[in-house]
Structures are given as structure tokens and as C-alpha cells.
Structure 1
Amino acid sequence: MLKGLFVWTLYLASNLLSASAFPADGAGSIAHVLKKRDSSSKDSKKKPSYAPYYTDCPSDNIVESVSSGSIPAAERSYLSTHKSVADPAMKQYFINAGLPGINADDLVGSKGPVVGIAISGGGFRSMLTGAGALSAMDSRHNNHTVLTGLLQAASYVTGVDGGAWLLGSMAVNNFSTVNHLKEKIWRLQRDILFPKSIILYNADFYKDLVTETAEKKAAGFDISLSDYFGRVLSRPFVDPKWGAPNVSFSSIESQEWYADAEFPYPIVMATTKKPDTQLNRLNDTIIEISPSAFGTFDHGVRAFVPTEYIGTTLDNGKSDNGSCVANYDNFGLIMAIASTQFNGLMRNFNDSSTKNGRVLQDYLKGNFTEANQDIEPIPNPFKGLSSAANADGLSDSDSLYLADASESQNLGIWPLIQKGRDVDVIIAVDNSANTEYLWPDGSALVATYERALAEKDKEDSNVKGFPYIPSQESFVNLHYNDRPVFFGCDGRNTTYGNHTVTRNTPPLVVYLPNVPYIYYTNISTERLYYTEDQEKQLLTNGLIGATYNNNTYFGQCVACAVIKRTLERQNMTASPQCQECYARFCWSGVQDNTESDTTYLYDPKLAL
């Protein structure tokens, strides 16, 4: 079935990723705005400052406490506006799917499905493969796929690590298409730590990194390896000249797409990890970062602070002097916080070809230890909150120690199973590198499943449960990691128990693992450059993986997965075609826990 569509899909993918599919001038992106400012401003030679600064707090208490089963006010407002986009997009998505016997009008609106999309960690490998998957769901492309419109119909999109890089670079550039990002924004052909082809230019780059971070330190704020790596990441994602030192993550709120809520609500995921400790993935505190809100639902904390004011020293939600910190949430820093596992590469940076390079490498080695290089400390916004008393000392600490969420859960599913978000189905794009040859083995889903089980009987838990998930051994032995699989198809058979299906029922998960359909995409997570051909191959393979080679039948089956909880809530019988889809793609519960070298040494061949 897959091979028969191969040539046509390559044609489709090449058109999706061609220059003709996006605006040539890039208007609306941050890079475009910076370019205009650079050429027109009288102070065009004066670089903006990376330093945070003080401003008046908007209110006496800036921490929003969220009741169980609710969500932050800014998120609620965004989703209310987004509904006017999502409902028509969802209806059109169902029409395009062509499911027989289905009335699209019955499946949208207040009773309709809520969709979340999760892009895993995995550095640039995940960013590019995930980008191919998102492009397959984006209705802005000239050539449609079997998933076209699902991006616009979704309510949430989350990213971990490299998935956060994808989400962040789209969001900060006015939610540009993947095509536009590839052709006009991303610069991956050279190692991002050595971005210039001429040694002298790299020397200037290293000098800029030192100067920019020094501005923050001179303003009275501590700096870390994440500050340096964040300045590095800003160049290929936003502004190659200056790295957008004054572009904050919260500034995305002022962009047109965000004001009009045209796309899913974006959430970058991080976690907490105390210095000199091993992360406990069953008890860490998952941190959510959106352009509007920074906070957590975990351990009964349920508290959020406006993202634009992170970096402010607070006690019980209040600043001691009425001043709040702004510009601490630099876009690059947030991207680096989401990927602190790369801080080791930053610390071990080695370029002795220039004096500036030697100065930088000596400073990084001399001032930052290897022991806690994967941690980013920031002023703790939860200090003094009574709700944080049971969160492993979170209410007592002056600092909040953030780390890459991939150390805990490599798929950003945790935010999508919180009560109040009402997510019915999650499209999980897994580009993890779990096996010897860097392929996913389901560990990302298993980690979330095990954490959900651990939360099951906690009174302060805000999680609504999760589908049952097989072991990593079963994923490999039974080939659940080399094809799409649906988990949680029966809403009455989840960790939530045998209850009537409601909005609090755990979601169905459409699992889309990284599979070598046309290219071996198992490239090291630590790889910091990609050739132009590799970029195209990963994007195309990601598109093919998300659509199962643009197979019409599979597209209809995904639509059946999207409506499953809606049908269950309304006691509606699934159509014969959907029942056939469930029989084919839903996990049957079969496991094979046999451990062998073959499991870890899983090494698939090209599927097409």
C-alpha cells in the first residue's frame, strides 16, 4: 500500500517544501521586521541590549492561582478567540477526510473534539522531522495532504527540546509556514557554534556572545550557560546579525497571529531539577511556558505568572519593592531553557583559531562546572506560595532550577492531559533516540504513562489519566515503533477507570514514531548542523511519516481517531469504516516483554 504511492508523495512533498508555496518577502516575520529596522533606523549600528530591566508591576500580586480543572485566564481568552478559527477548520478537515455517513456539523462546536499536537525532543533531528509533520497538517500549503487543516483545527501544540525549537521559531516569526522558515529563516548549514565561513567573522560572533551576556550581568542578573546557548540559538532562528537580544518570548503576544488566535495555543515544556541530584521523573515539577503564562499544575501548585515578568523576585506573588523585571524572558533563553541538555556542548565549545574564541572557551570552562551544567536557575516565582508547600521545597527556595524536559518526558503530553484543557486526542510525533541506532522505542509514551499512574491516587493531582501503554520491549518486538498506532481507543479502558466518557476522560493518542520511510533520519541529537539535502530529506520523511505516505485510508482513520471521544460522549455508534480503522490501528493490548539485544539494537531498513 505504501510503495504504490511513493512517487506521487515525493512529488507532493517536493511541492510542499518548495519556494513557490510561501511569500517571497517574508513580511510579518521577526527577521523581516528587524531587517527593516536595521536599514532605516538612525541607530542601526547600535545593537539592542540583552539586559533585563525593571518596570512597574501591573498589580500588587502577579501570580495567578488556578483552581483544579481550570486554566489560566490568558489561555482561556486565547482559546475563546481561537474557536472561531478552529471550528470551521475542523469542519473542513472532516469534509476533506471524506468519512462516509458522517455529518461534520454534528462534530464541531461545544460538543466537538479538542485536539493537541505534541512534538518530541531530539535537537535539530526532531525540529526538522517534526516540521515535516506540521507542514502536512497546515492548510496554508498549496498542495493538500490527508491531514490538511488539522493544525488550524487543533487547540494546543507543545514542544520539548528540539520540538520547542520548532514551535518557538514558528511562533516568533508570526507563525510562518515551514516552507518560509526553511528558505528564509533557519540557517543550519554550518555548525551553530561556528556559524561563519570566515574565521574573522567567527571571532566577532564570539565577542558578541561575551558582550551580550555581560550586559545582563552588569544589570545585576546572574548569567548561566543557558544565556550563552540562548544567544547562539537566536541567530539561526530569528536574527543572524544580532540574535534579537531584545526580543522576548512574551513579545509573541503582540504578533498578529497571536492576537487573532489563528493557530493552536503554544506551550514549551521544561522541568525542575535541583542541583547535585538525579531527576525523579515520577515526581519532578513540569513547567509550562507560553507567551502569556509561566507556571505549573503539578503537586497542587497550580500557579502561573505572566511570562513577561519571569525573573522578578517574588514572595507569595508579590515583589518586595513593587518593581517587576522585563526582558528576562528573552526568546533565545527560553529556547535554551527548553534544551539544557545542550549546555554541555556550549561549555565544551572549543575554537582556538581566534583570540576571542580562546577567551570564550576559557571563560566557559572556568566559570561553569560540569556537575550542574544542565540546570538553569531563575528567581523562583512560586516562593512563599502556600499551594507550593508540598512541591519538594518549591515554596522555600529563592531559585527555581529548570532543566530540559526530555530528561523526564520527551513528548510534551503532560500539559495536554491536565483537567480543564479537555483534550480528546493527541497527535504525538516522536523523534526520540532511545535505541543504539537512535530510533524511538516508545519510552517517551511509557514515561508519561508511568507518571500518570503515579499520580492516580494523589489528591492534589490535576491529571485526568492516560491510556494504557505497552512496554518498550513490546514497542520494538511487536513493531509498534515502526508504524502509526492509536492508544486509548476505548475511553472506558484507561488509567481513569471504567467510567462514563466525559471531558475528563483521558485522550486517545495517535502515535507517529520516526521511521525511515525514504531516508535514515536517525541523526545524532547533538548534531548542530545539517546540509541542505539533509534538511529536505528530514522534512520530507516527517511529512510522509505523519500522513503514512499520504494514504487516503489512513487519513480517514486519523479523522476517526479525532472523533472517537466525541462519539463516546454522545453515545453515537462509529461508522463501519471507523470501526474498521479502530480494528487496524488501535493497540489491541497485546504485549511481548521479551528482553534481548535485538530490542536495543533495533535497526530498521527503509520502508519505501
Structure 2
Amino acid sequence: MVSLRNLIACLAGAAVAAALHIPADSAYAPKHATCPATPLVRGATGISAAESDYITRRHRKASAALKTWLRSVDEGFDSVSKEWPAHSSGKGAKAPVVALTSSGGGYRAMLSGAGVVKAFDGREKVKTGVSGLYQALTYEAGLSGGSWLLSSLSANDYPTISSLQKSLWEEALESSLLVTSILVSTPKDTIYSTVEANVKAKRDAGFEPTIIDPWGRLLAYGLLYGVDGGVRATLSGLTKTSSFKSYMAPYPIITALGVETGSCIPEVNATQYEFHPYEFGSWDAGVAAFAVSKYVGTSFSNGRPIKSCITNYDQLSYVLGTSSNVFAAACTPVPANNSADASLVQNFAAFVSKPGSDVSVRETFGLFPNPFQGRHDSPEVSGLSTLELVDGGVGVGYQGNPIWPFLYRSDVDVIIVNENSADTRDNYPDGTQIVNTYKAAVAVGLKRMPTIPSVETFVTKKLNQKPTFFGCHSTEAATIIFIPNFNYTFTSGQPTSKIQYHRNETVGMISNGVEVGNYGGKDNWPLCLACGITKKNGKKLPDGCAACFEEYCFN
């Protein structure tokens, strides 16, 4: 894993209050709204009715796509899929529910993860042995750099990676607004002024801005289409895209970690929060509750709005910025400086505070009004008016893969974990991240996490350099298909702190990511991946599956 101190150097209280006046002309500022009659906070007793309905309808389409892909790999899978009902409400066997997770790791993770999606996406012109699998996903989760990828896909109505690469990413990453000399240059004056106005509008509305506001807004210019870097995109607004309304896309989830008041980095048992179109909250025992995403920003007491409701606080740029927030870990005030010689984080501070002054440590967190304030069944946070959130890949027991949400969703059968962390000196995974998730799951008794070997075993057996299946033979655990970043055709172990990619680098990273998803074109990979997905679901698998399990399953 890249040194957090080095990353910050390179990149480098008061409650959130209800507003008396909110600027009507700001697309970024939170807004007053009439509260609905339905409850806005609920206990974590399963997924919400809205998510359940989406998943039921999405799974029907995913099942059909999975059946088509399996048959393209080997007609022997027909004996498995023929028993799947046409509708999820049917009796008997059903298609496995498959989720994809994209890890953290800055632009390295975003681009490598994008290549994996491209390899899986049946709409791409250049086909691989695994083309069509993306259409068979029911869920997709992202963290940090993985959340940038997921946000760019979901907010832009799920275009192909090829389209995003050519129409948005190549130019945006080459002329990166995260490079301070570019950010403060004359050609970028309009963007700088616009983001400055966004931050001011949020403050004028009575809400406390932090450096995560400009961080997220500037990232969004390279991730989201639309006026002013997709400023109108909200988390709850994803439900209005045509792909979502027609159940053509996997359900998106973004994760982050909570930090205890007075601390700057998450502890080993830090609360895992998840953001998705319908809800925000946590399954963890200290919170065990969810709130409707659209009304995040509202002040609550014991699950009920104190005054009027607030909308538009769930800015997608603020959510993806929070999921990738490593700045708070420095645990020191940041001087505001908007010059080309300043560090990036100092420039962010200048959006929040006047140059020459400092922003406080508190102003380096992603701050969210606490919807669980005063809630008896959320003892860990019931006394807090504000939640302080950071990147899920930092802290004592950092977990760079957003696996956690699927350990609580018992219907998820298979989790494809695309790991793009920088654990080694040359910025590749070594198993640390998924081992930490396994340890955390064991600590709280989550048996759906399969047994994961030690980091030493990962390195010795080179499990960090090739796909591996975990949980193949477990009746309790989900199957995890671990697909790590590896340099097949390009040096993809780029530093997490790298904030500018030239066009050839963006092309190289995504192309290598395609090879990661397709295991370098290995002949038996499509068949073995299909076998791993259907192992616990199928009665009669193709003859070649036995050899696949011998090669890929870790026992």
C-alpha cells in the first residue's frame, strides 16, 4: 500500500445546521423540501423495499444475460441454466446473484478497473472471452478510485468504457485539474470561479463546507458529463437515468469509513458506511440503520426530521470525494494557498478559507448531518450531530475492497473482487486488503466471508498475481473471485499519488485492465470463470470444470 503520508504530501466542532436561507440559483447548494409522510430512517433489518424491488427486476435481466454468456462459453452449461425460472419469483433453482467490486487506488484503480469492466462488457466492439459478463451483474460497488469509476458509469447512464475513455477521460486526465499549476492557470479561471461559487453557496445555505467539496467538484469535471462538471448529479438522482429505470444496470454502492470524534484515522473496527441511490447508512452494530439518500442533509432526532427536510446534499461529487478522502489522516490544519507553487490540498483549503489562514482538521473530513442522532438503537453515533467520513482504504485495518456490503446481503452468491491496491513497493496488491476484510468479518461473526489465507501465502503462492477463487467448497460463504492488477501489457502499478495521465498512459492502463479481466487471454479462463460462478448453483457442470476447480480454487 502506498504510504499515506507520502500520498497526502503529494496531493498536498460546529454542527452542520439547518439553513434559514438557501440560494435558489445554486445547483450545488442544499435545498429545503417538504418532508414526505413515509419514514426516512429505518433499522438495518434487510435491504429496503425499494432496493429489493430493483434487485428482483434487475436479476431477471441479469439471469438472461448470464445464461447467454454461459452458453457462449460452453453449451454444457445449458443443463444448469435451463432450470432457472423466467422470473425471480419462480420456484426452484435461480441464477446466481453476481456482484463486482472495484477497489481504491486513485486513477490507477479507476483506469485498471475500467479495463476489467471493458473486458466484461458485451457492448464493446473488441470482444474477449468474458464479454457479456458485465450484463450479468446484479450489483456493483466502488471505493475511492473505484467509486470514481462507478460514478462515471452510473451518472452518465452507463456508456461503454471506450466511449468514456475517448469522450471524457483522455482529455480530462491529461489536463488534470488536480495539477495545481493547471488548476490556477488562466484557461481554468472559469472552472476555479465556479467551484469557488459552489463552496460559497453551500456555506451561504448554512452548511459547513470542507476541502472535500472542491476535491469532489474538481474530480467530477473529469468524471461526469453535464454543465459545470455534472453539478446536477446527485446520488438519489441516479434513479432517474434510463438505465436505472429500465433495470439495465447493476445496483451501484459506494463505501466510506466513519471516524470517531477526536480521531483522524479509522480504527480497526471502524464503522463501514454505504451510499446508494435509495439509502445511506451502515449494517454495523453501532449504527445498524439506514436513511433515505435523497434527504441526507436533514437534521433528525430519533429518526424524525427536526424541521423541514433538506435535499441536494447528496451531491454525487461530494460522495465520491468522501469515499476517496485521505486528507484527514494528516491530522493537522491546512494552510490556504491558491498559487501554482502550493500543494493540491493547500489549494483546496483556499476554496474553503481565505489565503493566509488555515482550515481546521474538522474541515478535512467528509461531513454529513447525522440521520441517526438520538436513535437509541444506534448507540455509537446517537450523540453526534455530524458524521465524519473518510476513504475506506485508510486507517488501522484498511480495506481497499468494498466487499462489506455484500457480506450482509445474503442473496449475493458470487463477489468478483477486482483488486487494484498498491501494497507492494511497485504498487501492486499483495493480499493485505482482502486479508483485513477477512479478519474484520471474523471479528464480528460474518460467516459469508470465505476463508482468506495470510499475506505471506498470497505472495508465496503468487495469488496476488493471478485470479483465485475463495469459498468454492463452503456452504455458508459467498464465492469470491479475486482478480488482482498485474502488468500484462503495461506498467499498471502506477503510484496512487499520480494525478495526471497522458493519453497514451490512459490507453495503456485501460488496455492492460482488459487483460486483467481476461487473464491475459488464457485459454481456459472463460470456462473456469463460468465454472466458479456456477459451482454452488449447478448440479451438472461441464466436464472441464473439475480441472478448473483444481487450478483456481484455494482450499
1:62-87 superposed Cα distances (whole Å, 9 cap, x missing partner) = 113242xx211111011122123112
TM superposition shift of 1:475: 1.1
TM superposition shift of 1:98: 1.0
Cα distance in 2 for partners of 1:562, 1:332 equals 33
In the alignment, is residue 378 of structure 1 matched against residue 356 of structure 2?
A: no
Among the aligned pairs, what percent are the same residue?
30
TM superposition shift of 1:354: 10
Alpha-carbon distance change, 364 to 264 in structure 1, aligned in 2, over 3 angstroms: farther
In the alignment, is residue 528 of structure 1 matched against residue 499 of structure 2?
A: yes
Alpha-carbon distance change, 353 to 153 in structure 1, aligned in 2, over 3 angstroms: closer
Q: Give 2:33's aligned residue.
A: 55
Amino acid at match of 2:428: W
- Is the partner of 2:58 in helix, strand or coil? helix
In the alignment, is residue 92 of structure 1 matched against residue 59 of structure 2?
A: no
Where do 1:68-467 residues align within 5 Å? 70-98=46-74, 100=76, 102-106=78-82, 108-109=84-85, 110=88, 111-186=94-169, 187-194=172-179, 196=182, 199-239=185-225, 242-277=228-263, 279=265, 281-299=267-285, 301-321=287-307, 323-341=308-326, 351-352=338-339, 360=351, 363=354, 366-369=357-360, 371=361, 375-389=365-379, 393-407=380-394, 408-420=398-410, 422-456=411-445, 463-467=446-450
TM superposition shift of 1:47: 7.5
Cα distance in 1 for partners of 2:67, 2:77 equals 14
TM superposition shift of 1:486: 1.0
Superposed CA RMSD: 2.6
Indicate if the aligned counterparts of 2:115 and 2:511 stay in contact, CA closer than 8 A. Answer: yes
Amino acid at match of 1:401: E
Q: Give 1:38's aligned residue.
A: none
Amino acid at match of 1:272: G
TM superposition shift of 1:363: 3.1
TM superposition shift of 1:348: 7.2
Cα distance in 1 for partners of 2:302, 2:479 equals 38
Alpha-carbon distance change, 200 to 315 in structure 1, aligned in 2, over 3 angstroms: same
- Is the partner of 1:64 in helix, strand or coil? strand
1:411-466 superposed Cα distances (whole Å, 9 cap, x missing partner) = 0111111144x11111110000011221110111101100111011xxxxxx4431
Cα distance in 2 for partners of 1:176, 1:533 equals 21
Alpha-carbon distance change, 529 to 435 in structure 1, aligned in 2, over 3 angstroms: same
Aligned residue pair count: 513
Task: Give the stretch that moved more between structures: 288-297 or 270-279.
Answer: 270-279
Amino acid at match of 1:85: K
Cα distance in 2 for partners of 1:350, 1:96 equals 57
Cα distance in 1 for partners of 2:512, 2:116 equals 9
1:468-487 superposed Cα distances (whole Å, 9 cap, x missing partner) = 11111221122111111111
- Is the partner of 1:566 in helix, strand or coil? coil
TM-score of the pair, normalised by structure 1: 0.79
Indicate if the aligned counterparts of 1:174 and 1:256 stay in contact, CA closer than 8 A. Answer: yes
Cα distance in 2 for partners of 1:118, 1:446 equals 15
Cα distance in 2 for partners of 1:279, 1:362 equals 23
Task: Give the stretch that moved more between structures: 206-215 or 168-177.
Answer: 206-215
Q: Give 1:22's aligned residue.
A: none
Indicate if the aligned counterparts of 1:131 and 1:178 stay in contact, CA closer than 8 A. Answer: yes
Alpha-carbon distance change, 101 to 419 in structure 1, aligned in 2, over 3 angstroms: closer
1:562 aligns with one of 533, 538, 542: 533
TM superposition shift of 1:204: 3.5
Alpha-carbon distance change, 102 to 300 in structure 1, aligned in 2, over 3 angstroms: farther
Cα distance in 1 for partners of 2:352, 2:303 equals 39
Cα distance in 2 for partners of 1:129, 1:490 equals 30
Indicate if the aligned counterparts of 1:117 and 1:154 stay in contact, CA closer than 8 A. Answer: yes
Q: Give 1:15's aligned residue.
A: none
Indicate if the aligned counterparts of 1:60 and 1:318 stay in contact, CA closer than 8 A. Answer: no
Indicate if the aligned counterparts of 2:104 and 2:144 stay in contact, CA closer than 8 A. Answer: yes
Indicate if the aligned counterparts of 2:44 and 2:282 stay in contact, CA closer than 8 A. Answer: no
TM superposition shift of 1:546: 1.0
Alpha-carbon distance change, 384 to 190 in structure 1, aligned in 2, over 3 angstroms: same
Cα distance in 2 for partners of 1:125, 1:349 equals 28
Cα distance in 2 for partners of 1:531, 1:512 equals 26
Cα distance in 2 for partners of 1:507, 1:289 equals 22
Indicate if the aligned counterparts of 1:342 and 1:374 stay in contact, CA closer than 8 A. Answer: yes
TM superposition shift of 1:240: 7.6
1:581 aligns with one of 535, 538, 548: 548
Cα distance in 1 for partners of 2:257, 2:436 equals 14
Alpha-carbon distance change, 431 to 155 in structure 1, aligned in 2, over 3 angstroms: same
Alpha-carbon distance change, 586 to 372 in structure 1, aligned in 2, over 3 angstroms: farther
Task: Give the stretch that moved more between structures: 155-164 or 142-151.
Answer: 142-151
Cα distance in 1 for partners of 2:350, 2:281 equals 37
Alpha-carbon distance change, 107 to 76 in structure 1, aligned in 2, over 3 angstroms: same
Cα distance in 2 for partners of 1:353, 1:414 equals 40
1:287-334 superposed Cα distances (whole Å, 9 cap, x missing partner) = 11111211111116432212111011001111122x110111112111
TM superposition shift of 1:233: 1.3
Q: Unmatched 5+ residue regions in structure 2?
A: 1-23, 89-93
Cα distance in 2 for partners of 1:221, 1:243 equals 21
Indicate if the aligned counterparts of 1:159 and 1:166 stay in contact, CA closer than 8 A. Answer: yes
TM superposition shift of 1:372: 5.1
Cα distance in 1 for partners of 2:473, 2:459 equals 23
Alpha-carbon distance change, 308 to 362 in structure 1, aligned in 2, over 3 angstroms: closer
Q: Unmatched 5+ residue regions in structure 1?
A: 1-45, 457-462, 492-500, 589-608
